[in-house]
Structure 1
Amino acid sequence: MTVISSTKNPEALSFTLIAEFDAGVERVWQIWEDPRQLERWWGPPTWPATFDDFDFQPGGKASYYMTGPEGEKAGGWWDFTAIQAPTQLQFDDGFADEDGDRVEEMGTTHATVTLDDLGGRTRMTIQSDFESEEQMEKMVDMGMEEGMREAAGQIDALLAG
């Protein structure tokens, strides 16, 4: 299993997932910058993602939806706030309705992805920061922790292929 740890920190309003891969930083960076590769792992196996728009640059936006086992769709959006290839990216993340409009009442999380070189291997840290304790609890109750672990668990196969 690639996931080393997943930690909730209610005091800091954050959730952090750490995973390690048998691939260099440049290769792991590609799974973030290429929406077709991102689709192969973003979201748990039973809720695969499809990216409609993907403008991977600071100030750029992405929109996507995940399709559930019964065909139901859950929309999402990202606003890229910082990109420092190939070691870090940051984006705001939120939910979207069936028309792709932002669902403001669900709030916004801020994600920071950091890739560290471990001598040919890569450690990926994804930290999600929440607006409030209530938002964090709601996301955890919706299965965010398990979903992130399952999603990251698909990366090894993608990197090997």
Structure 2
Amino acid sequence: MPITSVIPDAETLTLTVVGDYAVPVERLWAAWTDPRQLERFWGPPTWPATFTAFDLRVGGKAEYHMTGPEGQKSGGYWRFTEVHPGRGFTFVDGFCQPDGTPNDDLPGTIMEMEFESTPGGSRYVAVSRFPSIEAMEQLVAMGMIEGLKAAQAQLDGVLGLEAA
């Protein structure tokens, strides 16, 4: 599994995930910016994601839902605030009500994605910024770290790195 670190930091209210992959940075970028590829690893294996909108530009929005093993759905959205093609993007990451409106009962985060070339291929660094320690604790208690690890473990298959 190429996730090399997952670091929650209560002092800075961040969760940092680093993943290293034996593919060119352009390939890693494509996996994160093509909704058909992204939905293959954004949700954990038992809660796959389906993106219904994906507009990667400043002010653009991605909308998705995850479907659980019993058919239950959990919606989410990204609102892009920065886009640097091939290098990174920043977005507000929030939960949605069934009608697609933001669910303000659950905390959101600001997520910063950076992509870079490395001697062995490429790396992404994802930093989630929480609005408060209470929000961080709530999302961690909901299984954010475990879900993220399970979801990102699927990225190898999307990138064609799994053994045949």
| TM-score normalised by L of structure 1 | 0.97
* Corresponding position of 2:11: 11
The residue correspondences of 1:83-122 to structure 2 (distance < 5 A) are 83-119=83-119, 121-122=121-122
Contact kept, 8 Å, 1:107 with 1:135, in 2: the verdict is yes
- Structure 1: distance between partners of 2:11 and 2:120: 35
* Corresponding position of 1:150: 150
Q: Deviations over 1:28-48 (max 9, x none)?
A: 000121110111110111110
Contact kept, 8 Å, 2:21 with 2:120, in 1: the verdict is no
Q: Deviations over 1:26-81 (max 9, x none)?
A: 00000121110111110111110001111111110111100011111000011001
- Structure 2: distance between partners of 1:68 and 1:135: 23
Contact kept, 8 Å, 1:43 with 1:66, in 2: the verdict is yes
- Structure 2: distance between partners of 1:63 and 1:4: 28
- Structure 1: distance between partners of 2:116 and 2:146: 23
- Structure 1: distance between partners of 2:141 and 2:102: 21
The structure 1 segments of at least 4 consecutive aligned residues displaced by more than 6 Å after TM superposition are none
| Uncovered stretches (5+) of structure 2, i.e. residues with no partner | none
* Corresponding position of 1:73: 73
- Structure 2: distance between partners of 1:66 and 1:147: 12
Contact kept, 8 Å, 1:17 with 1:149, in 2: the verdict is no
Contact kept, 8 Å, 2:90 with 2:112, in 1: the verdict is yes
Helix, strand or coil at the partner of 1:104: coil
How far 1:107 moved relative to its partner?
2.6
- Structure 2: distance between partners of 1:150 and 1:116: 23
Q: In structure 2, what residue type is equivalent to 1:26? A: E
The residue correspondences of 1:117-132 to structure 2 (distance < 5 A) are 117-119=117-119, 121-132=121-132
- Two-structure CA RMSD over aligned residues (Å): 1.1
- Structure 2: distance between partners of 1:61 and 1:125: 21
* Corresponding position of 2:53: 53
- State how many pairs are aligned: 161
| TM-score normalised by L of structure 2 | 0.95
Q: In structure 2, what residue type is equivalent to 1:67? A: T
* Corresponding position of 2:34: 34
- Structure 1: distance between partners of 2:62 and 2:114: 19
